[in-house]
Amino acid sequence: MDSELVALTQAELLALALEATRRGDSGHSMAYLKEAGAREDATEQAHFLLGSEYAQIGLMDQSRLHLQRAIDLNPGFAIARFQLGLLHLTNGQPQEALDIWAPLTALGGDHPLEIFRLGMQHLVRDEFADCIQCLERGIALNAENPALNANMQLVIERVKALPSEPPESGSKSGESAKEEPHGHLFLNAYTGGKVH
């Protein structure tokens, strides 16, 4: 297959990768995307999709690397920026996530990704009611990416399942809550789903 890939253009490799993904064939999709991403004319889309595939199979370091490459190639690639921030957040790096998301404010207050960013910022600060409100508003406005809506709905459900009051100080559960903020307890569930 490698010799066949050399003759394919970037556009052809991406089209074949998307078709393979649609069929659930991650192996072929990754082969096409790795070829596309290794070339001098690699596009931000190739790195974004490759990062998505790596996230799907749980290789988060590689996923972050390719999402960062996508942003390096196109700093305005908003969905790649949002997803990279999510991966940092699930890795227990909230400040890195907030820094990566900061340019999304330029999208304006009615853009779903900016609203999702604001919701996740509320989550980092344990402002759960505001988090839910923003994520629900973002979902209502986001008609372009149903898979992202599903991931944000998962976050909402996890937030709603949190105890309304923190455990009493000194209890075993209270100690573990202090060790790991609420926002990071359930967001790693996100890494089980594909980055879209």
Confidence class of residue 7 from pLDDT cuts 50, 70 and 90?
confident
- Give the model's pLDDT for residue 176: 37
- Give the model's pLDDT for residue 180: 39
- Give the model's pLDDT for residue 173: 40
The stretch 139-163 carries a mean pLDDT of: 92
Lookup: tokens for 196: 């879209």
- Give the model's pLDDT for residue 3: 63
Domains and CATH numbers, the chain: 1-75 (1.25.40.10), 95-196 (no CATH)
> pLDDT higher for 167 or 129?
129
Give residue 35's Cα distance to chain centre.
Answer: 23
Residue 154 has pLDDT above 80, yes or no: yes
Q: 170: left (phi > 0), else alpha (psi -120 to 50), else beta?
A: left
Q: What is the pLDDT of residues 36-69, one digit of tens each?
A: 999 999 999 999 999 999 988 889 999 999 999 9
Confidence class of residue 166 from pLDDT cuts 50, 70 and 90?
low
Q: For 86-122, give one letter per residue: b (16+ CB within 10 A) or e.
A: bbbbbbebbebbbebbeebeebeeebbbbbbbbbbbb
Confidence class of residue 190 from pLDDT cuts 50, 70 and 90?
very low
Handedness of CA 125, 128, 130, 134 (dihedral sign): positive
Q: What is the mean pLDDT of the chain?
A: 84
DSSP letters spanning 34-64: HHHHHSTT--HHHHHHHHHHHHHTT-HHHHH
Tell me how far apart the alpha carbons of residues 104 and 131 are, in angstroms, rounded to a whole number. 17
Residue 177 has pLDDT above 60, yes or no: no
- Do the Cβ atoms of 182 and 162 come closer than 8 Å? yes
Residue with tokens 């970037």: 10
Residue 149 has pLDDT above 80, yes or no: yes
Residue 2 has pLDDT above 70, yes or no: no
